[in-house]
Chains A and B, each alone.
Chain A
Amino acid sequence: MVGPLLKGLKITFSHLFKPAFTVKYPYEKIEVAPRWRGKHVLRVDEEGREKCCYCGLCEAVCPANAIRIYGEEAPLEKSDVGKIAVIYEIDYRRCIFCGYCEEACPRGAIELTTFYELAEPEREKLLQTKETLLEKR
Chain B
Amino acid sequence: MSTVKVTIDGITVEVSPDATILQAAAKAGVDIPYFCYHPFLKPAGLCRMCLVEVEGMPKLAPACVTQVRDGMVVKTNTERVKKAREGIIEFQLLHHPLDCPICDQAGECYLQDITFRYGKATSRFADEKELYPTKFYGPLIVHEQSRCILCKRCVRFSTEVAGGTEWNVYWRAAHSIIGAYDTDTVANYFTANLVEICPVGAITSRLYRYKTRIWKLDFTRSVCDHCEIGCSLDLGVRENQLFKIKHNIMDPTPWLCDKGYYAFDYVNHAERILFPLKRNEKKMVSVSSEDVSDQIAKALEGYKEGEVALIVSPHIVLEDAAAVKSFADALKAKVDYRVYGEDYLPLKTGVSDISDVEGSKNILILCGDVAVSHPVLALSVLKAKFSGANVAVISANDTYLGERSNVFALVPASKEEAIAKDLLEGRLNDALKQALSESELETLRSMLQSEDLMVILGVRASSALRSLAYKISSDKGWKLLALDRGSNPKGLFAMGLYSDGVGGILKGVVDGKVKALLVFGVDLFETYPDAALVKEALSSVEFLVVGDLFFHETAAYADYFLPLVSFAEDSGTVVNLFWSKRRRRRAMEPKGESTSLRKWLASIADRLGVNVTTEVEGLDLSSVEVKLTEGKVEQVDGKFVAVVEPPFYRSAKYAGWCSNFSEASAEPKVVLSIEDAKALGVKEGDKVVVENSRGRFEFRVKLREGQPASSVVLDCGYDRFPVNLLLTGSWKVAVDLKKA
Binding site for B on A (CB under 8 A): 53-57, 59-60, 70-73, 81-83, 106-107
Complex partner residue of B102 from A53, A60, A70, CB under 8 angstroms: A53
Contact A81 B211 (CB under 8 A): no
* Complex: A126 Cα to B100 Cα, angstroms: 31
With A and B bound together, what is the CA distance between A116 and B215 in angstroms? 32
* Chain B: minimal CB distance from A50 (Å): 13
Check A56–B99 contact: CB distance below 8 A. Answer: no
Tell me how far the C-beta of A16 lies from the nearest C-beta in chain B, rounded to whole angstroms: 58
A81–B209 alpha-carbon span in the complex (Å)? 13
Residues of B with C-beta under 8 A to A81: 99, 101-102
Partner of B215, one of A56, A72, A82, A83: A56
A82 touches B211 (CB 8 A): no
Produce 1/0 per residue, B202-224, CB < 8 A to A.
00000001111101100000000
Query: Is A59 touching B216 in the complex (CB atoms < 8 A)?
Result: yes
Q: What are 5 A-to-B residue pairs whose CB atoms are below 8 Å?
A: A55-B106, A55-B213, A57-B101, A60-B213, A82-B102
List of B residues within 8 angstroms of A53 by Cβ: 101-102
Contact of B101 among A55, A59, A70, A72 (CB under 8 A): A55
In addition to A59-B213, A60-B215, 7 A-B residue pairs with Cβ atoms within 8 Å of each other are A54-B210, A55-B101, A60-B213, A71-B210, A71-B212, A82-B102, A107-B101
CA distance A83 to B102 in the complex (A): 7
Q: Is A70 touching B106 in the complex (CB atoms < 8 A)?
A: no
Task: Find chain B residues with CB under 8 A from A56 CB.
Answer: 212-213, 215-216
Closest residue of A by beta carbon distance from B213? A56
Interchain CA distance A53-B104 in the complex, whole Å: 12
User: Which chain B residues border A73 with CB–CB below 8 Å?
Assistant: 209-210
Task: For residue A84, give the distance in angstroms from its CB to the closest CB of chain B.
Answer: 8
Write the chain A residue with the least CB distance to B97: A81
Report whether A55 and B210 are in contact in the complex, using a CB–CB cutoff of 8 Å. no
Closest to A79 in B: B102
- Whether B210 pairs with A106 at a CB distance below 8 angstroms is no
Q: Hey, what's the 0/1 contact readout for B101-114 against A, CB within 8 Å counting as 1? A: 11000100000000
Proximity bits, B63-106, A CB within 8 Å = 1, else 0: 00000000000000000000000000000000000011110001
Which B residues are CB-close (under 8 A) to A70?
211-212
Q: Point out the residues of chain B lying under 8 angstroms from A107, CB to CB.
A: 101
Chain A's closest residue to B243 (CB) is A70
Chain B interface category by residue count:
10 to 19
Chain A hits for B106, CB < 8 A: 55
Kindly report which residue of chain A lies nearest to residue B241, judged by CB atoms. Answer: A70
Distance between Cα atoms of A55 and B216 in the complex (Å): 12
Are A72 and B211 within 8 A (Cβ)? yes
Is there contact, CB below 8 Å, between A55 and B100? Answer: yes
Q: With A53-B101, A55-B106 as known contacts, state yes or no: A83 contacts B210, CB within 8 Å.
A: yes
Q: Which residue of B lies closest to A68 (CB)?
A: B239
The 7 closest A-B pairs by CB, nearest first: A55-B101, A56-B213, A71-B210, A83-B102, A83-B210, A53-B102, A81-B102
Tell me the bound Cα distance from A129 to B431 in angstroms: 69
Interchain CB contact under 8 A, B211 and A71: yes
B112 nearest CB across to chain A (Å): 12
Would you give the shortest CB distance from B681 to chain A, in whole angstroms?
44
Q: Which residues of B contact A71 (CB under 8 A)?
A: 210-213
Given the complex of chains A and B, what is the CA–CA distance between A93 and B481 in angstroms? 60
Chain B residues lying within 8 Å of A59, measured Cβ to Cβ, are: 213, 216
Distance of A81 Cα from B104 Cα, bound (Å): 13
Binary contact track B352-370/A, C-beta < 8 Å → 1, others 0:
0000000000000000000
**Shortest beta-carbon distance from B144 to chain A in Å:** 11
Q: Are A106 and B101 in contact (CB under 8 A)?
A: yes
Residues of A within 8 A of B211 (CB): 70-72
The residue in chain A whose Cβ has the minimal distance to the Cβ of B101 is: A55
Question: What are the residues of chain B within 8 A of A57 when measuring CB–CB?
Answer: 101
A106 to B106, CA, bound (A): 14
CA distance A56 to B214 in the complex (A): 10
Shortest B452–chain A CB gap in Å is 52
| Residues on the B chain within 8 Å of A106, using CB | 101
Chain A residues whose C-beta falls within 8 Å of the C-beta of B100 in the assembled complex: 55
In angstroms, Cα B216 to Cα A59, docked, is 9
A82: which B residues are within 8 A, CB to CB? 102
The smallest beta-carbon distance between A69 and chain B, in angstroms, is 8
The answer for the CA separation of A60 and B101 in the assembled complex, in Å, is: 13
* A106→B100 CA distance, assembly (Å): 10
- Report the nearest B residue to A106, measured CB to CB: B101
For B216, the chain A residues whose CB sits under 8 A away are 56, 59
In the complex, per-residue mask of B227-246: 1 if CB is within 8 Å of any chain A CB, else 0 = 00000000000000000000
CB-CB < 8 A to B210: which residues of A?
A: 54, 71-73, 83
Please report the C-alpha to C-alpha distance between residue A105 and residue B100 in the assembled complex, in whole angstroms. Answer: 12
A71 to B212, CA, bound (A): 6
Task: Give chain B residues whose Cβ lies under 8 Å from the Cβ of A55.
Answer: 100-102, 106, 213
Alpha-carbon gap, A73 to B208, bound state (A):
10
CB distance from A102 to the nearest CB of B (A): 15
Which B296-313 residues sit within 8 Å CB-CB of chain A?
none
What residues on A are CB-neighbors of B213 within 8 Å? 54-56, 59-60, 71
Which residue on A lies nearest to B107, using beta carbons?
A: A56
CB distance from B107 to the nearest CB of A (A): 8
Chain B CB within 10 Å, residue with most, of A70, A82, A107 = A70
Q: In the bound complex, what is the Cα–Cα distance between A34 and B106 (angstroms)?
A: 34
Chain B residue at smallest Cβ distance from A56:
B213
Instruction: Report the Cα distance A82→B211, complex, angstroms.
Output: 13
Which chain B residue lies CB-closest to A82? B102
Q: How far does the alpha carbon of A57 sit from the alpha carbon of B112 in the complex, in Å?
A: 15
Q: How far apart are the CA atoms of A55 and B210 in the complex, in Å?
A: 9
Closest CB in chain B relative to A17 CB, distance in Å: 59
- Complex Cα distance, B100 from A53, in Å, reads 10
Q: How far is the CA of A101 from the CA of B211 in the complex (A)?
A: 20
Give the residue name and chain of the B residue nearest to A109 (CB).
Answer: B101
- Could you tell me the distance between the alpha carbons of A71 and B213 in the complex, rounded to whole angstroms? 9
Instruction: Report the separation of the CA atoms of residues A81 and B100 in the bound assembly, to the nearest whole angstrom.
Output: 12
Across-interface contacts of A54 in B (CB, < 8 A)? 102, 210, 213
A56 to B: closest C-beta gap in Å: 4
The chain A residue sitting closest to B98, CB to CB, is A106
Nearest Cβ on chain B to A59's Cβ, whole angstroms:
7
Residue ID in chain A nearest B99 by CB atoms: A81
Bound-complex Cα distance A72 to B208 (A) = 9
In the bound assembly, the distance between CA atoms of A81 and B134 in angstroms comes to 12
Residues of A within 8 A of B209 (CB): 73
* Chain A residues in 8 Å Cβ range of B102: 53-55, 81-83
CB distance from B53 to the nearest CB of A (A): 36
Bound state CA distance, A86 and B339, in angstroms? 41
Bound-state Cα–Cα, A70 to B101, Å: 14
Within the assembled complex, what's the spacing in Å between the Cα atoms of A53 and B99? Answer: 10
Q: B215 — which chain A residues lie within 8 A by C-beta? A: 56, 60
Question: What distance in Å separates the Cβ of B402 from its nearest Cβ neighbour in chain A?
Answer: 37
Could you tell me the distance between the alpha carbons of A12 and B319 in the complex, rounded to whole angstroms? 80
Question: In the docked arrangement, what's the CA distance between A45 and B210, Å?
Answer: 20
Closest chain B residue to A71, Cβ basis = B210
Bound together, the chains give a CA A112 to CA B216 distance in angstroms of 24
Question: Could you tell me the distance between the alpha carbons of A54 and B104 in the complex, rounded to whole angstroms?
Answer: 10
Interface residues of B in 165-215 (CB under 8 A from A): 209-213, 215
What residues on A are CB-neighbors of B101 within 8 Å? 53, 55, 57, 81, 106-107
